A and B are shown apart, each in its own frame.
Chain A
Amino acid sequence: METIIIVAAIIIILLIVIILVWWIAAQNKFRTTQVKIDEASSGIDIALTKRYDTLTKMLDITKSYAQHESELIGSTVQMRSMSSMQERKNFNDSINEAIGRINAVAEQYPILLSSQAYKQLQVAAYDVEEHLQAARRAYNANVSIYNQMLVMFPKSIVANSMGLTPKEFFEAESAKRNDVKML
């Protein structure tokens, strides 16, 4: 009888240890994914800040040709603190719109369009855009993994105990989504 109790106790202790180890591993996995999401999120912030800087420089150059329009475009986009993905998305949309308007203005001034400085800024804007896309893809991939873990049993128990909630995706710009139309 005593042997059975000892064996049962050992099995229970082993089970508790296994569950504890798994629990800690699951918590660490959540934390690691959160860190990755934060990294990718800061990558988005860096890319957005660079985009804003490029936009400001483009506006400065355009100002000498079309002061009124440049000031008007500049007033619609202001650097702001971004706490949520929706705010980041809105900010990015407004930058996109402003760049589009600057390009429309520039097309009216062939000298501006052909100037070396303006061309360099276009190159920079394109490169920053690509970095932003990479950061967006990395962020969304990490969020997808994180959100999947959050709803999958039994990891969902760990997530609930840690008070974790699903993260929002950084969606493609509305303008780009609208481009995809099946006729």
Chain B
Amino acid sequence: MNKINWSALSYSLDYDTPFNELNHSERLKNERAAPAYVFFNKTGNPFLGFLRFLKRRPVPKKTMNIPRVMEDLARIKRIKNVCATILLVFLLCGILGYIIHNLLLLIISMPVVLIVVHICNSLVKKNKNGYTEFDYKDYIVNEAVFPVVEDVLYEPHFGIPFNVVMDTDMYRDIGTCMTSDYLTGKYHGVYFVQAELTLFGDSNSNQCFAGRWIIIKYPKAFSGMVTVADKRYLYCVKKHKGLETVKLENQVFNSMFEVQSNNQQLAYYLLTPQVMEKLIYIKQNIGSNVVVCFKHGFMHIGINNKRPAFEPNWQNLDANRDIARFRNDFDLVSSIIEILDIDKSVYIQ
């Protein structure tokens, strides 16, 4: 494992060059090449370091007009439906033509399909001042967490960088990842970030993880590493040679999770009875595999529930219902911060 000098975070970037968001593959290449620590800020919200790495400037907020948002989204939906129908008709014609006659009809139908896709995209993007699905999600997220979370920043296009997840060293055989819906802020004085994450195996393309990845900046100082892995999920989790298995005093917890640490006392310090109860609760009530890693002063929590937390039902939009649903989802993060007992005012300087 590469040793990183986390205390010497000195990464600086040229803020004057705006990031070219269209060059997606170049961005991913840069992200994969960079060590994990460059994605963290030294001061303030540590999770803004990722956007600094991307040279992303804060996007000015649009004034939200919900009836207009609904109108625009309905228009986008109509365009998409029409385009999908046209595409389907042409594809069917092409396939039928191939079956009845020859390959020529299928080949002819392909450029038409491409043209329809292009027209569809340009129609969706035509109204530059109009609202998009991302604007709607941004509105929902902000409305849901605004009363309780300070300095909310939501970036639906971005997610937690692959190397940050890999730096936890929790998984074996991970090759690629898909991530989105980067949400960061400060709850009860504690900085957190959460994002959707899907991890795929390296040697095979099996999905190893699909769910939410949450990182919390732990206000208490600690050095060392503690990992907690669901016993039913050990086939994906790496067994560390340098770490010893720790048995805690909660037998139910021991039967569900395997704890590894390089310092037994640190495991007891971080995994308080309340934290153990919370992890049991998540496993029993959310019905998902849970992995936790304490490292470099951060607490990583992976909830492998195979369910997106940020996706509204696009076929039947209802802002109030979506806000309530997202608020309910966010309760998981807030309750973890509360139960961790790390939001005590004495710690927040």
Stretch at the interface among B63-71, B204-212, B262-270: B262-270
Q: A36 near B346 (CB under 8 angstroms)?
A: no
B220, CB-defined interface residue at 8 Å? yes
- The reply to whether B265 and A40 form a contact with Cβ atoms under 8 Å apart is yes
Segment with Cβ contacts to B, from A87-95, A131-139, A149-157:
A131-139
> Interface readout for B307-349 with A: 1 if CB under 8 Å, 0 if not?
0000000000000000000000000000000000000101100
The B-contacting residues of A in range 147-176, CB under 8 angstroms, are none
A131 near B264 (CB under 8 angstroms)? no
B282 at the interface (CB under 8 A from A): no
CB-CB contacts below 8 Å: A8-64 with B: 36, 39-40, 43
Smallest CB gap from B244: residue in A:
A36
Smallest CB separation, B324 vs chain A (Å): 36
* Interface size grouping (class) on chain B: 10 to 19
B79 within 8 A of A: no
Name the residue on A nearest B248 (C-beta).
Answer: A141
Judged by a CB distance under 8 angstroms, whether B188 is at the interface is: no
The count of residues in chain A whose C-beta lies closer than 8 Å to any C-beta of chain B is 19
Q: When A131-B269, A141-B248 are in contact, do A39 and B264 touch as well, CB less than 8 Å?
A: yes
Contact across chains for B264 and A36 when beta carbons are under 8 A apart: yes
Give the docked Cα–Cα distance between A130 and B344 (Å): 13
Q: Is A141 touching B249 in the complex (CB atoms < 8 A)? A: yes
The answer, yes or no, to whether A109 is at the interface (CB within 8 Å) is no
CB pair A134 B347 closer than 8 Å: no
Task: Check B268 against A137 for contact (C-beta < 8 Å).
Answer: yes
Please report the C-alpha to C-alpha distance between residue A119 and residue B347 in the assembled complex, in whole angstroms.
Answer: 10
- How far does the alpha carbon of A134 sit from the alpha carbon of B275 in the complex, in Å? 13
A-chain residues with CB within 8 Å of residue B249 when the two chains form the complex = 137, 140-141, 144
Selected from B268, B344, B346, B347, the residue in CB contact (under 8 A) with A135 is B268
CB contacts under 8 Å to A, within B214-261, are 220, 247-249
A125 nearest in chain B by CB position: B346
Tell me if A122 counts as interface (CB < 8 A to partner B).
Answer: yes
Give the CA-CA distance A119 to B344 in the complex, in Å. Answer: 13
* Contact call B265/A43, Cβ cutoff below 8 A: yes
A40 CB to nearest B CB, Å: 7
Q: In the assembled complex, how far is the CB of residue B281 from the closest CB belonging to chain A, in whole angstroms? A: 20
Bound complex: CA of A58 vs CA of B103, how far in Å? Answer: 88
How far in angstroms is the closest Cβ of chain A from B275? 12
Contacts of B247 in A (CB 8 A): 141, 145
Residues of A close to B346: CB separation below 8 A: 119, 122-123, 126
Judge whether A71 is part of the interface by a CB distance below 8 angstroms.
Answer: no
Smallest Cβ distance from A155 to chain B, in angstroms?
17
What residues of A have a CB within 8 angstroms of the CB of B347 in the complex? 123
Q: Shortest CB–CB separation between residue B228 and chain A, in angstroms?
A: 16
A127 within 8 A of B: yes
Across the interface, name the chain A residue whose C-beta is closest to B346.
Answer: A123
Which A residues are in CB contact (< 8 Å) with B344? 126
Q: Contacts A122-B346, A123-B346 known; A138 to B264 CB distance under 8 Å?
A: yes
Question: In the complex, what residues of B have CB within 8 A of residue A135's CB?
Answer: 265, 268
Tell whether A134 pairs with B268 under 8 Å between CB atoms, given A123-B346, A126-B346, A141-B248.
yes
Residues of B within 8 A of A134 (CB): 265-266, 268-269
Residues of B within 8 Å of A141, CB to CB, are: 247-249, 268
**How far apart sit A74 and B248, CA to CA, in the bound complex (Å)?**
37
For B220, what are the chain A residues with a Cβ–Cβ distance below 8 Å?
127, 130
Among residues of A, the one whose C-beta sits closest to the C-beta of B269 is A134
Q: How far is the CA of A135 from the CA of B265 in the complex (A)?
A: 6
- Residues from chain A with Cβ under 8 Å of B269 in the complex: 130-131, 134
**Measured CA separation A21–B347 after assembly (Å):** 51
- Tell me, rounded to whole Å, the shortest Cβ–Cβ distance linking B274 to chain A: 12
> How far apart are the CA atoms of A159 and B347 in the complex, in Å?
46
Q: How far is the CB of A106 from chain B (nearest CB, A)?
A: 15
Question: Assuming A43-B265, A138-B265, A140-B249, what are 18 further A-B pairs, CB within 8 angstroms?
Answer: A36-B264, A39-B264, A40-B264, A119-B346, A123-B346, A123-B347, A127-B220, A130-B220, A131-B269, A134-B265, A134-B269, A135-B268, A137-B249, A138-B264, A138-B268, A141-B247, A141-B248, A144-B249
**Chain B residues in the interface with A (C-beta under 8 A):** 220, 247-249, 264-269, 344, 346-347
| 5 A–B contacts, CB within 8 A, in A order | A40-B265, A135-B268, A138-B264, A138-B265, A141-B248
Which 9 pairs from chain A and chain B are nearest by CB? A134-B269, A134-B268, A138-B268, A123-B346, A137-B268, A43-B265, A138-B265, A141-B249, A138-B264
